[in-house]
Amino acid sequence: MRRLSFAIVVATLFAMGTPEKAITELGTNAPQSTSVHEARHTGPTVWAHGGEVRALATQGDFVWAATNGGLVRYDQKARERVVFDATTGLDSIDVRGVRVVAGELIVDTAESACKLDNDQQRRHFVCVAQIAVAANAPTGPIFRDDHATARAVVTAGTFIGTRDSGVWFLSNGEPSSAVRLDPAEKQAPRSFVKKAVSYKGHLWLGTFADGVWRASADDVTSAEDAHAPFRMVNDMLVSGDTMFVAANEGLFFTRDTRTWTRVDLVGAQGVTGLAMLAKEPGMLYATSTAALWKVRIDQKIVHAHTSWWRPAGTKSLQAISSSGASLYLASEDRGLIRFDGSRFTANDKLSGLPTSWAVDVAGDGVGGAFMATLRDGVMHVNGDGTWSKVQGLPGEWISSVSMQDGVLCVGTQSGAQCDAHTFAALPDPRAHAIVKVGDGWLIGTEAGTALYSRANVRS
Amino acid sequence: MCVGMLNRRLIKTLTNSLFHAPTVSSIVSVHPRARRLRHTLAAAALALTLASLAVDVTPARAQEAPRAAGLDAHAEEGASVHLPLLSEQIAIRLDGEHAAATYTHVFQNESQARLEGNYHLMVGEGATATGFAYWNGEQKIVGEVFEREAARQVYDALTGLRRDPGLLEQTGEGAFSFHVFPIEPGERKRVQVMTSRWLTRRGGPVEYRAHVTRPDASIAIDLEDARGIKSITSPSHDLEIVQSSPTHWHAAVKTKKPGADDLVLDYELNGAPNALFAQVHRDPGQPAFFTASFATPPTPATTTPKVGNDVTLVLDRSGSMGGDSMISAKKAAVAIIDKLGADDSVNVIAFDDKIEPLWSQPKPVTDQVRKDAKDYIATLDARGGTEIAKALEKALASQKADAHPDVILFLTDGESDGPSAIKVATDDKSAARVFTVGIGTGVDKALLSRLAQMKHGRFNFIADVHAVETEFPRVLSQLDEPAITDVKLHAEGAQLDRVYPSTLGDLFPSDEIRVFGRVTAQGPIKVVLEGKDKGTPVRYESTIDPSQTTSAPQVARAWASARVEDLMEDMRQKGESDDLKNEAIELGLAYELVTPYTSFLAVPEKEMNDATQVAVGSMRAKRQAILASHKDAAALSRMNMPPGDPVLRVHAPRNAVRVIAMFPFGTTQDLAYDDFSEAWSTRFLVPKGVPDGDYEVSIVITLPNGNVTATSVHYTIDSKAPAIDVVAKAGAAGADLRVTLDEAADEVRVADELDTTNRVVLKDSGNGVFEGKITLARGHHSLRVVVADKAHNEAERIVEVDIQ
């Protein structure tokens, strides 16, 4: 995992020595930087996995590594390790490839091809959109309990990229003598943060495919895998002393943060969303793909109480939210379905909306809801079925929608926005979770989690 | 070594021989001689067990009625006890006429002793096991299908150590059991069995019956059928029913009605009884599986004079028919004689290893003939062996040469020399019809079914000897003239392959046939059933599309089961061969079938030593290789998709070191093993910029021994909305719509723009056409037509109509 603090670039300087010795001093024993090469405006703190090396390329004294935590440059001559991220112009720290063509460095990210601009002092990249590059096979030979994914041979030895543990340097051909060049820091999930809740004094992060992680409230980067019996989190909700998690593996809850109990919803393969109505404090509403469930949570044994199968005819429920006395269900085939306790009403393309494909929903608190669509933006749907489109979003492909302190927050494939606030230098434009944490914001993107303080959020 | 431990070891060894006979599925029979020998050994073993425990035996408990589910346990020094059943949960999925049920039971060890026991479950006639699991504390131990011999070796190696593995066996018709150890003091032992069976519709509702142990069992039913559901009722329990759509209902079982025992569900489907219904399952890259079923209505009132039959009753009086079986069979035989009319003739032949006919030929029914026949039946007692072939030969040779149809009704409970009986039927060129009725759980169903097919009759199976009398009216109705003769099934537009049963018998009133087979086609085809109704050709057809990827895995599994039965029958006739045996093994492993060559084994990973780890690893690798080549070892939750987040599930060994998916758009992802779904899974996002087309996800599996296997799954990116053409025709009270598409659609819906709650779903008429009607008031209306394709891309049309 690579942790980037409030600067574009973290550089490490070393005492003179042989090139070989200097390179190895880039490893875990090296001190954290005390000198910053360049400082720009403050950007977010980024917490990303970073240990997966996709490609290596040599360019003179430089060895470049494409990783899932940015572009890393190892300078053999200056004995420096430099990390390039979104603040240096890369559109994403999800760097898929790096190559040197006719002496020019080209960096492939998830959605772009990037080149250094002509002004070498600025060390800034310019990116142009391209179709995603195929990754190298992660099944290279075993190397130091990991898989070797890339190699770059230099005069002094070989740089070896791995799937999980960054870049190593091998001088004499013996794997046991290899030295790790990247700081071995705390762990981070490979997949993005989808949801986050506060529970029993901690911040709990639900990820796309890596389960739930527990972090201290004031230092998200301290998060550790909670080793829950599920990996694919869709939603999280806290009620009293219980935290519920909706996952593709089912509905789970914990009361002590250590043991998890599965709630059996007969016939359901996975649970997609959670909500509660203020008027029913002992009931939890959960959606599976084809049903709405009412789960009794105010007794010792949590159990399914009632279910409604295929509400409004949907086969593909994605999320649920409450608004006043109503529930709103987001579905892929019936748009936004309103449930008033007795009737399901679909707000979909057949009703005149642009699409029936809703991916998320957030109640507006006054009986209506915001409908996040796959590729048609966000609609605000009122309780009577009238609707309007939310304007001014970074993009039309929507990942998430939520209300944070009364403010509408939207994660899109082109950035994140909370009301008028935008978030610059996201580690990746594909934003999902947007959570208010204290005075700041936590944005889960597809290439790492960004932590913004009040100071570095634009309005 | 103390006596107690010695006894436990002795019990374990003898228990193995008692209960761990080769596993038998409900449709595959063990050789009759082997079965009788095993029963004898079992009886001897039981006697030895009781003798060795003489000092420990406490007075036997009063005999209790058999329970649907139970866990009989005992300590090292102690009598057997039935552990209290704390909770019972049954989840039932009814998909058309297929029932999949998951039984979960929790038992309580109330003692302070560590116990071992035997869990048993009675599901019902025709049920097969599709999985099982048990828990050691919080750890779920899941059964896997392995080759029988290898599974047996692992089982033997681990049994008697700390925690025994589980070996699921079929102990009778629709009955299963497995050994459980340990059951710790105070432990709540949870066990689970998954089952599958095909139900029948005989002229009326489809009946589903389940044995239930606890009156407060939690039972949930999910019923789905493309033909539409008319009703679901239960004479045994109150139901709370939710109709989520015309084709999908959901029911929760509430209170049990007074006097009820089993759960009985009766549900009626839309459509005329005599309609051919076909269903497809297709895995990507594989030929499709199909099933076709056809049901006939009850006997209609007829003014045509009935021609009398020459009926020969052939009654099994072998030793195994003693007790209730003989009483019930005799009662049923007497009922048949009472039903015969003055135009009929009757004869009775009793057989064991001797053949003893009452008369040389059937005699015209008179009061005296009835009395003589009944008196003869009353004298029969159970003795001797079972010589079906000789009895059949005698019956066929004892017919009158007249114009009356010759009907032979065979009642038997046992097994016999199959090839000889088949030869008798083959050599016989007469028009006699043979109806076989198998009673009890020791019946060679394959043999009796085949005999009936060959001789244009029908095989009826009655598992419960006490149900013989109540089932017999149905059997009797088959003695009437068949509803449809010369039944043949074929396809227009494709060739059907490996269809089972290979020969179709005549169809009778209130009858149903079901076939399974394989088919490859580039588009929709017609499955056609033809025959003759009193000499007039009849034809029934159903359209299916084997080119589309469709999920109905029960169809694939049933075909595989039928294929294994066919292979076993071949081997019975011709002897075992490596080719046939290997194919049976491969099918058993791929489709998780219990056969004479494959077993369900659940192994606690922590108990494995080096040798058993190697053995189990090797077994899993073999199964994985077969899965990869046989069906979708990897499956995507959606095959046709626009960018989204489908779930990828891979069936790989639980102890695989790593399972990685490599996506064509540039990412790789580790999968994680999920205990509940027993598969490796992850999900991924397809980037929005990926062009439409077909793609492949490569999956690499690294096994503990360092071997690497690979598989792949294909998916299609489709972000294009379908092209549609709409024709709307105003009528008196609404509009008729016809929508034509250029690709397969998920659904076509129409709504009135003035009132969008007035909306209908159009019906698929086939060949890309959807039709339907929407009710509208007088006046001008704008109708919005929305079509969604399989990837949920939507297209829309507005049409204007004026309703006069």
- Same domain, yes or no: A247 and A165: no
C-alpha span between B688 and A235 (Å, rounded): 23
**In terms of CA atoms, which chain B residue is nearest residue A289?**
B637
- Same domain, yes or no: A158 and A205: no
Place of tokens 């009270």: B733
Cα dist. A146→A141, A149, A168 in Å? 8, 9, 11
| C-beta atoms of B794 and A351 within 8 A | no
3-class SS at B155? helix
Q: Which helix (H) or strand (E) holds B427?
A: helix B418-427
**In terms of CA atoms, which chain A residue is nearest residue B797?**
A350
Cα dist. A265→A245, A268, A442, B252 in Å? 14, 6, 32, 12
Domain that holds residue A9: 2-180
C-alpha span between B286 and A222 (Å, rounded): 49
3-class SS at B137? coil
- Check pLDDT > 60 for residue B44: no
CATH number at residue A325: 2.130.10.10
| C-beta atoms of A190 and B676 within 8 A | no
- Same domain, yes or no: A163 and A298: no
| Sign of the torsion formed by the C-alpha atoms of A273, A277, A278 and A283 | negative
- Same domain, yes or no: A364 and A328: yes
- Check pLDDT > 60 for residue B45: no
C-alpha span between A158 and A161 (Å, rounded): 10
| C-beta atoms of A96 and B666 within 8 A | yes
Least confident of B50-54, B344-348, B378-382: B50-54
| C-beta atoms of A131 and B761 within 8 A | no
- Same domain, yes or no: A342 and A246: yes
| C-beta atoms of A134 and B665 within 8 A | yes
| C-beta atoms of A111 and B91 within 8 A | no
pLDDT of A33 reads 28
DSSP string, B373-422: HHHHHHH----S---HHHHHHHHHHT--SSSSPEEEEEEE-S---HHHHH
Cα dist. B313→B123, B336, B385, B406 in Å? 31, 9, 18, 11
| Confidence grade of residue B517 (pLDDT, cut at 50, 70, 90) | very high
Residue A37 to chain B, least CA–CA distance (Å)? 32
Q: Which residues pair with A162 in a beta bridge?
A: A148
Could you tell me the two tokens for B463? 């598992």
| C-beta atoms of A248 and B683 within 8 A | yes
pTM: predicted TM-score of the whole model, two decimal places: 0.58
- Check pLDDT > 60 for residue B337: yes
pLDDT of B1 reads 29
Parse chain B into domains and list their residue ranges. 310-477, 633-717, 724-803
- Nearest by CB to residue A111, choosing from B685, B689, B759, is B689
Residue B723 to chain A, least CA–CA distance (Å)? 16
Task: Find how far residue B51's CA is from the centre of its chain.
Answer: 41
Phi, psi at residue B787, to the nearest 5°?
Answer: -115, 130
What HEC string does B734-753 produce? EEEEEEEECCCEEEEEEEEC
Residues of A in contact with B676 (CB under 8 A): 249-250, 262
B751 touches chain A (CB under 8 A): yes
**Sequence-distant (≥ 6) Cβ neighbours of residue B678 within 8 angstroms:** B131, B142, B654
| Confidence grade of residue A37 (pLDDT, cut at 50, 70, 90) | very low
Mean pLDDT over residues A335-352, rounded? 95
Q: Which residues pair with B133 in a beta bridge?
A: B142, B192
- Nearest by CB to residue B683, choosing from A132, A208, A385, is A208
Closest CA to B442 of B171, B149, B647, B765: B171
What HEC string does B207-274 produce? EEEECCCCCCCEEEEEEECCCCEEEEECCCEEEEEEEEECCEEEEEEEEECCCCCCEEEEEEECCCCC
| C-beta atoms of B756 and A352 within 8 A | yes
pLDDT of B29 reads 22
pLDDT single digits (tens) B503-514: 788 888 778 889
Residue B792 to chain A, least CA–CA distance (Å)? 7
- Same domain, yes or no: A146 and A247: no
Residue type (1 letter), B217: A
Q: Which of B103-112, B545-554, B607-616, B620-629 has the highest mean pLDDT?
A: B103-112
| C-beta atoms of A131 and B647 within 8 A | no
- Check pLDDT > 70 for residue B27: no
What HEC string does B440-497 produce? CCCCCHHHHHHHHHHCCCCEEEECCHHHHHHHHHHHHHCCCCCCEEEEEEEEECCCEE
Taking only residues 222 to 281 of chain B, the set having a beta carbon closer than 8 angstroms to any beta carbon of chain A reads 222, 242, 244-245, 248, 250
Instruction: Check if the beta carbon of residue B568 is closer than 8 Å to that of residue B596.
Output: yes
- Nearest by CB to residue A139, choosing from B647, B665, B700, is B700
B50 touches chain A (CB under 8 A): no
Could you tell me the two tokens for B423? 């030869």
In a domain, residue A166? The reply is yes
Residue type (1 letter), A183: P
Residues of B in contact with A373 (CB under 8 A): none
Mean pLDDT over residues A124-153, rounded? 77
- Same domain, yes or no: A354 and A415: yes
| Confidence grade of residue B67 (pLDDT, cut at 50, 70, 90) | low
- Check pLDDT > 80 for residue B624: no
Which architecture does CATH list for B310-477?
A: 3-Layer(aba) Sandwich (3.40)
- Nearest by CB to residue A209, choosing from B682, B750, B784, is B682
pLDDT single digits (tens) B314-329: 998 888 777 777 887 8
3-class SS at B135? strand
Interface probe, candidates B244, B637, B673, B718, chain A, greatest A C-beta count within 10 A: B244
- Nearest by CB to residue B786, choosing from A110, A232, A349, is A349
- Check pLDDT > 90 for residue B726: yes
- Same domain, yes or no: A261 and A388: yes
Least confident of A16-20, A114-118, A189-193, A334-338: A16-20
Q: Which residues pair with B587 in a beta bridge?
A: none
ipTM of the complex: 0.82
Residue A424 to chain B, least CA–CA distance (Å)? 22
What HEC string does chain A produce? CEEECCCCCCCCCCCCCCHHHHHHCCCCCCCCCCCCCCCCCCCCEEEECCCCEEEEEEECCEEEEEEECEEEEEECCCCEEEEECHHHCCCCCCEEEEEEECCEEEEEECCEEEEECCCCCCCCEEEEECCCCCCCCCCCCEECCEEEEEEEEECCEEEEEECCCCEEEECCCCHHHCEECCCCCCCCCCCCEEEEEEECCEEEEEECCCCEEEEECCEEEEEEECCCCCCCEEEEEEECCEEEEEECCEEEEECCCCCCEEECCCCCCCEEEEECCCCCCCEEEEEECCEEEEEECCCCCCEEEEEEECHHHCCCEEEEEEECCEEEEEECCCEEEEECCCCEEEECHHHCCCCCCEEEEEECCCCCEEEEECCCCEEEECCCCCEEECCCCCCCCEEEEEEECCEEEEEECCEEEECCEECCCCCCCCEEEEEEECCEEEEEEECEEEEECHHHCEC
- Nearest by CB to residue A131, choosing from B248, B689, B756, is B689
Could you tell me the two tokens for B308? 């009398």
C-alpha span between B243 and B261 (Å, rounded): 26
**In terms of CA atoms, which chain A residue is nearest residue B246?**
A313
| Sign of the torsion formed by the C-alpha atoms of A412, A416, A417 and A422 | negative
| Confidence grade of residue B246 (pLDDT, cut at 50, 70, 90) | confident
- Same domain, yes or no: A175 and A227: no
Residues of B in contact with A411 (CB under 8 A): none
C-alpha span between B233 and B740 (Å, rounded): 38
Q: What is the DSSP letter of B337?
A: H
| C-beta atoms of A333 and B792 within 8 A | yes
In a domain, residue A188? The reply is no
Q: What mean pLDDT value characterizes chain B?
A: 79
Q: Indicate the pairing of strand B672-674 with strand B668-670.
A: unpaired
Cα dist. B612→A204, B141, B158, B616, B658 in Å? 41, 16, 8, 6, 21
Phi, psi at residue B560, to the nearest 5°?
Answer: -60, -40
Cα dist. B285→B635, B713, B715 in Å? 12, 9, 11
pLDDT of B34 reads 24
| C-beta atoms of A267 and B669 within 8 A | no
Residues of A in contact with B248 (CB under 8 A): 309-310
Cα-based angle A313, A317, A323 (whole degrees, multiple of 5): 100
- Same domain, yes or no: A170 and A215: no
Percent of chain B having pLDDT more than 70? 83
Instruction: Check if the beta carbon of residue A128 is closer than 8 Å to that of residue A112.
Output: yes
**Sequence-distant (≥ 6) Cβ neighbours of residue B429 within 8 angstroms:** none
Q: Which of A31-45, A254-268, B405-419, B736-750 has the highest mean pLDDT?
A: B736-750
Instruction: Check if the beta carbon of residue B110 is closer than 8 Å to that of residue B239.
Output: no
pLDDT of A244 reads 97
Instruction: Check if the beta carbon of residue B594 is closer than 8 Å to that of residue B600.
Output: yes
Q: What mean pLDDT value characterizes chain A?
A: 84
3-class SS at B338? helix
Residue B131 to chain A, least CA–CA distance (Å)? 17
Residues of A in contact with B663 (CB under 8 A): 135
Interface probe, candidates B229, B248, B250, B752, chain A, greatest A C-beta count within 10 A: B250
| Confidence grade of residue A136 (pLDDT, cut at 50, 70, 90) | low
Instruction: Check if the beta carbon of residue B114 is closer than 8 Å to that of residue B243.
Output: no
Residues of A in contact with B792 (CB under 8 A): 316, 332-333, 356-357
- Check pLDDT > 80 for residue B36: no
B638 touches chain A (CB under 8 A): no
Q: Indicate the pairing of strand B310-316 with strand B345-351.
A: parallel
Least confident of B162-176, B221-235, B296-310, B762-776: B296-310
| C-beta atoms of B666 and A110 within 8 A | yes
In a domain, residue A186? The reply is no
| C-beta atoms of B792 and A357 within 8 A | yes
| Confidence grade of residue B641 (pLDDT, cut at 50, 70, 90) | very low
Could you tell me the two tokens for B289? 């599986």
Taking only residues 105 to 164 of chain B, the set having a beta carbon closer than 8 angstroms to any beta carbon of chain A reads none
Residues of B in contact with A413 (CB under 8 A): 688
In a domain, residue A287? The reply is yes
- Same domain, yes or no: A172 and A284: no
Reading phi first (left if > 0) and then psi (alpha if -120 to 50, else beta), residue B520 is in beta
pLDDT single digits (tens) B87-138: 899 999 998 889 999 999 999 988 888 888 889 998 877 788 888 888 887 7
- Nearest by CB to residue A355, choosing from B93, B662, B794, is B794
Please give the span between the terminal C-alpha atoms of chain B, in angstroms, as a whole number: 97
3-class SS at B553? helix
Which CATH number does the domain B633-717 belong to among 2.60.40.10, 1.25.40.80, 3.40.50.150, 3.40.50.720?
Answer: 2.60.40.10
- Same domain, yes or no: A152 and A220: no
| C-beta atoms of A308 and B91 within 8 A | no
Interface probe, candidates B106, B660, B667, B724, chain A, greatest A C-beta count within 10 A: B667
B721 touches chain A (CB under 8 A): no
Q: What is the DSSP letter of B57?
A: P
Residues of B in contact with A267 (CB under 8 A): 91, 93, 220, 222, 250
Instruction: Check if the beta carbon of residue B29 is closer than 8 Å to that of residue B415.
Output: yes
**CATH class (in words) of the domain with range B724-803:** mainly beta
Between chain A and chain B, the number of residue pairs with CB atoms below 8 A apart is 135
| C-beta atoms of B759 and A350 within 8 A | yes
Could you tell me the two tokens for A35? 């000198």
- Check pLDDT > 50 for residue B313: yes
Could you tell me the two tokens for B190? 């949870």
The tally of domains found in chain A comes to 2
C-alpha span between B185 and B570 (Å, rounded): 50
Interface probe, candidates B190, B675, B683, chain A, greatest A C-beta count within 10 A: B683
3-class SS at B47? helix
Residue A256 to chain B, least CA–CA distance (Å)? 17
| C-beta atoms of A309 and B689 within 8 A | no
